[in-house]
Amino acid sequence: MTDAWTTAGGTIAGATIATAATATSSNATPPLLSVESLSTLIHTPDGRALRILRDVDLTIEAGECLGVVGESGSGKSFLARTVLGVHGRTDRVETTGRVRLDGEDLLSAPPRRRAAVLGTGIAMVHQDPMTSLNPVVRVGEQIVEAVTNRQRLPRGQRRALAARLLQSVDVPDPERRARAWPHELSGGLRQRAGIAAALAGEPRLLLADEPTTALDVTVQRTVLDLLDRHRVERGLGVLLITHDIGLLSGRARRIAVMYAGRIVETGRTEDVTAAPVHPYTAALLRSVPRVTGPLIRTLPTIAGSPPDPASNAPGCPFASRCDRAEALCSAEAPPLVRVSDSHTAACHRPLIPAEESCS
Amino acid sequence: MRLRLPGAGRAGRAVGVLLAVVLAAAALPHVMPGSAALAALGPTATPDQIAAYDRRIGAGQNVLSGALHWLGGAAHGDFGTSLSTGVPVATELGERIPVTLELFLAAQLVALAIAVPLALASAWRPGGLLDRIATAGAFLWLAVPGFVLGLVLIWVAAVQLRILPATGWVRFGQDPAQNLKDLVLPALTLGLTEAAVYLRTLRAQLIGTLDQTYIAAARARGMATRRLLVRRALRPSALPLVTLIGIGLGMSLGGSVLVETLFAVPGVGNLAAVAIAGRDFPVVQAVVVLSAVGVVGATVLVDLFYRRLDPRIAHEHR
């Protein structure tokens, strides 16, 4: 390895492209999910064009959990919705790139084929269990939707299926809960119901969009453990979106850090958290509250706010908030380059001093 | 300690409203302009005849004893006798209420059949072509007075095409086919006007509902658009519409004066119009109280229906 800073732009971030051998073997069995240079442009009613995602590359293998982390507005949720292919009714979204599920590109697939994947190929767990269940439809009826949208089931079978699904997510007294209205359940139970609804169609990929943000810390852990269990048992691929990078340790094998619609750093969770390369990742890690150390102290925050998605300013989007920025940073966007075999970052002034520097 | 019975406050309010209306209705002979006696007996009546007539209708009594007298009769199903026809008011109403209700129900069917599908389609793509046409159309439609619409319908269907009768009414029991034919034009006139109001109300509510996360969640589970709209979005959006229909139902017991007169439908509204013109106080009194009973009763019905539509409401009031 004479030059560690090989450009990885345009290929699958995180995937090994080091040797020809590994490249061919990954071609033989395509990853469960492979997102390739995914970009989206939203056309707003007032005529502006917002770039929400810019050249996003990522892969998820079956049974693997990829953590996507970033602050509010970095495009994490939008990434999930784009992978799913379901946007707001009124959004005019222009999407380019590839979203491959088991090798099949969904973006270029006909609408009917894409609809067939919803709930059965890819399923989603939403952030707020208080708003993601229809208040006037019984919990059980909603949980079984992924199945009943495709085939008619008599009421007795629907109830039995709902109860079985609720039981699989550790909801006590599942028969009664299936007949309950959403408002009769606690937040934790509702999120379990949301997970049960996502699992109903036996999907291969689960997009979990901040599934525990709205929950008590005590409940958070059990819900995440539940997701882990199903990931392992079913070989489910999980895209776990969170703004809390600390939550990913021990749960996600790899991390992708998003900023302003770009992936700015990816790598194995332990590598990224132990030795972040991008100053933004480092800042995110500093802002995680610690149990050790002085009891009262100021939690470090990142000054400033992410750039306006309507702006087309050149350079690194983090430059204005970065204490390491230099002239080049606001002139030219840094490409995503490799730090090591499985670690990439997009930064002109990376935190690891590059021994074999990139002059 | 206050004893609280479920629904006691609501029932109390309803009784209060009804008593107030009975009082106001009893005051009618005192406050309505013109003399009932003169209207009924003609200009040649002697003062003695007029005095006797006034005693009969209770115009000489004070309002409170008039109201009590009326309530006493009503308790036995006796609402007095029509001054102009001599028929007991109860008999008259018994014949006309079914006609008015039939017209109301048919009009609701027309209104909902037009408004619900249009609202669903418009709200799914707000600002789209269909939405713009429907919204502008509803707005224009609202500006057209009901009787103008009725006249146009008569001209087209009865005069030009000669497929439907312009006026008249045959009871359903007598000749169902003819009854339905008689029903079409008045029901269309009432229903088309209401459709515009329903469309605007439901569309606005649906747009809010369709932005909810639970709709996105259902889509993410692969629910087809039509099923999503009908099975998942309509019900949480229906409360304001139910309120409107309820108000309409309550008001309808008083009859739709305009449409019933225009099409000569022998409903309560028609009766009221004739009674008011002829100073037929017992009839007017009964219709006024009937309207109040209708509104109060419909409010209770709407309340009950709310609880069926949205389980959270039942939860709050438990």
Q: Which chain B residues touch A136 with a CB distance below 8 Å?
A: 235-236, 309-311
- Answer whether A197 sits within 8 Å of B217, measured CB to CB: yes
Is it the case that residue A57 has pLDDT exceeding 70?
yes
Residue A7 has a pLDDT of 40
- My answer on whether B68 and B158 are in the same domain is no
Three-state SS for B158?
Answer: helix
Which one-letter amino acid corresponds to residue B206?
A: L
Count interface pairs A-B at CB distance under 8 A.
87
Share of chain B above pLDDT 70, in %: 90
Predicted pLDDT of residue B183: 92
Beta-carbon separation of B221 and A115 below 8 A? no
**For residues A298 and A24, what is the distance between their CA atoms, to the nearest angstrom?**
50
- To which residue do tokens 């007075």 refer? B145
Contact A116, A89 (CB under 8 A): no
Helix, strand, coil shares, percent, chain B, to 5: 75, 0, 25
Tokens 């119009």 belong to which residue? B273
| Contact between chains at A90 and B127 (C-beta distance less than 8 A) | yes
How many Å apart are CA B185 and CA B168, to the nearest integer?
Answer: 11
Residues B170 and B25 in one domain: no
Backbone torsion region of residue A77, taken as left when φ is above 0, otherwise alpha when ψ lies between -120 and 50, otherwise beta:
alpha
Decide which of B168 and B270 is more confident: B270
Minimal Cα–Cα distance from A150 to chain B, Å? Answer: 8
Is A90 touching B (CB cutoff 8 A)? yes
Q: In what order do the strands lie in the sheet with A49-60?
A: A49-60, A33-43, A92-101, A104-105
At B14 the pLDDT is 83
Residue B3 in any domain: the answer is no
Q: Is B125 on the interface with A (CB under 8 A)?
A: yes
Looking at A141-150, A259-268, B74-83, which range is the least confident one? B74-83
Q: Which residues in chain A are closer than 8 Å to B315, comparing Cβ atoms?
A: 181, 183-184
- Which candidate, A354, A300, A335, A305, places its Cα nearest to that of A55? A335
pLDDT of B292 > 60? The answer is yes
Mean pLDDT of chain B: 85
Q: What is the radius of gyration, based on Cα positions, of chain A?
A: 21
C-alpha A269/C-alpha A272 separation (Å) is: 5
Q: In whole angstroms, what is the distance from residue A198 CA to residue A177 CA?
A: 17
Identify the residue with better confidence: A268 or B12.
Answer: A268
B310 occurs within a structural domain? no
- Summarize the confidence of residues B270-299 as an average pLDDT: 88
Dihedral of CA A261/A263/A269/A270: which sign?
negative
The structure tokens 């994490």 sit at: A76
Which DSSP string do the residues of B32-77 spell out, in sequence order?
Answer: SSS-HHHHHH-TT--HHHHHHHHHHHTSSS-HHHHHHHHHHHHHTT
Question: In the prediction, which pLDDT does A6 show?
Answer: 39
Mean pLDDT over each residue of chain A, to the nearest integer: 86
Closest to B207 in 3D by CA, of B134, B135, B310, B125? B125
Is there a contact between A280 and A259 (Cβ–Cβ < 8 Å)?
Answer: yes
- In the sheet with A343-345, reading across from the earlier edge strand, the strands are A122-125, A205-209, A237-242, A65-69, A254-259, A262-268, A343-345, A337-340
The candidate with the shortest Cα–Cα distance to B310, out of A180, A137, A129, A184, is A137
Q: Which of A89, A119, A137 sits opposite B220 (nearest CB)?
A: A119
Contacts of B223 in chain A (CB under 8 A): 145, 149
Q: What is the 3-state secondary structure (H, E, C) of A51-98?
A: EEEEEEEEEECCCCEEEEECCCCCCHHHHHHHHHCCCCCCCEEEEEEE
Please name which of A356, A291, A276, A354 lies closest in space to residue A322, comparing C-alpha atoms. A276
Task: Write out chain B residues lying below 8 Å of A206, CB-based.
Answer: none
Total residue count of chain B as it appears in this document? 318
Element (H or E) spanning B218, and its range? helix B213-220
| ipTM > 0.85, yes or no | no
Query: Would you state the pLDDT for residue A131?
Result: 92
Instruction: With H, G, I as helix, E, B as strand and everything else as coil, classify residue A198.
Output: helix
Domain-embedded: residue B291: no
B271, β-bridge pairs:
none
- The Cα A260–Cα B115 span in angstroms is 44
- Helix (DSSP H) and strand (DSSP E) numbers for chain B: 16, 0
Report pLDDT for B33.
61
Residue B276 confidence (pLDDT)? 85
Note whether A120 and A201 are within 8 A (CB): yes
For residue B147, the model assigns a pLDDT of 80
Residue numbers in B near A179 (CB within 8 A): none
Which residue in the block uniquely carries the two structure tokens 């028609």? B270
B316 within a domain of the structure (yes/no): no
pLDDT in tens, A208-266: 999 988 888 888 888 899 999 999 999 999 999 998 888 898 899 999 999 999 999 99
Pairing of strands A254-259, A92-101: unpaired
Q: What CATH number corresponds to the domain at position B174?
A: 1.10.3720.10
Last residue of a domain, one of B277, B295, B313: B277
- Phi then psi for A104, rounded to 5 degrees? -90, 125
Span A163-177, mean pLDDT? 95
Measure the CA angle with vertex A301, ends A298 and A304; round to 5°: 140
pLDDT digits (tens, 9 = 90+) for B217-243: 999 999 999 999 999 999 999 999 999
- A187-200 as b/e: b if 16+ CB within 10 A: ebbbbbbbbbbbbb
Same-domain status, B102 and B71? no
In this structure, what are the phi and psi dihedrals at residue A93, rounded to the nearest 5 degrees? -110, 130
| Stretch A159-183: mean pLDDT | 95
In a domain, B289, yes or no: no
Residue B318 reports pLDDT greater than 60: no
Provide the residue ranges of all domains of chain A, joining segments of one domain with +.
132-202
Instruction: Tell me the pLDDT tens digit for each residue of A277-335.
Output: 999 999 998 887 776 766 676 777 788 888 888 777 888 999 989 988 889 998 999 99
Write out pLDDT tens, residues A59-90: 999 999 999 998 888 889 999 999 998 887 77
Residue A23 has what pLDDT? Answer: 40
What distance lies between CA B69 and its chain's CA centroid? 28
Pairing outcome for strands A122-125 and A205-209: parallel
**Do A19 and A351 form a contact (C-beta atoms < 8 A)?**
no
Query: How far is it, in rounded angstroms, from Cα B132 to Cα A351?
Result: 56
pLDDT tens per residue across span B24-63: 887 777 666 666 677 667 777 788 877 777 776 666 567 7
Stretch A125-151: mean pLDDT, rounded?
93
Per-residue pLDDT reduced to its tens digit, B240-265: 999 999 988 888 877 788 889 888 89
For residue A355, pLDDT beyond 50: no
At residue A346, φ and ψ (nearest 5 deg) are -115, 90
Q: Which residues, 6+ apart, have CB-to-CB distance to B154 below 8 Å?
A: B166, B167, B185, B262, B263
Q: Which residues contact B65 (CB under 8 A, 6 or more apart)?
A: none
Distance to chain A for B140, nearest Cα, Å: 26
Pick from B130, B212, B214 the residue to mutate for testing the A interface (most A CBs within 10 Å): B214
Output the pLDDT for position B77.
82
| B120 in contact with chain A, both atoms CB, cutoff 8 A | no
Contact A134 B232 (CB under 8 A): yes
Segment B112-149, tens digit of pLDDT: 999 999 999 999 988 889 999 999 999 888 888 878 88
pLDDT over 90 percentage in chain B: 35
Question: Same structural domain for residues B66 and B198?
Answer: no
* Region for residue A4 given its phi and psi (left: phi exceeds 0; alpha: psi -120 to 50; beta: otherwise): alpha
Tell me which residue range forms the domain holding B246: 96-277
The residue assigned the tokens 């109300």 is: B201
pLDDT beyond 60 at A19:
no
Q: Are residues B155 and B223 in the same domain?
A: yes
Q: Is B207 on the interface with A (CB under 8 A)?
A: no
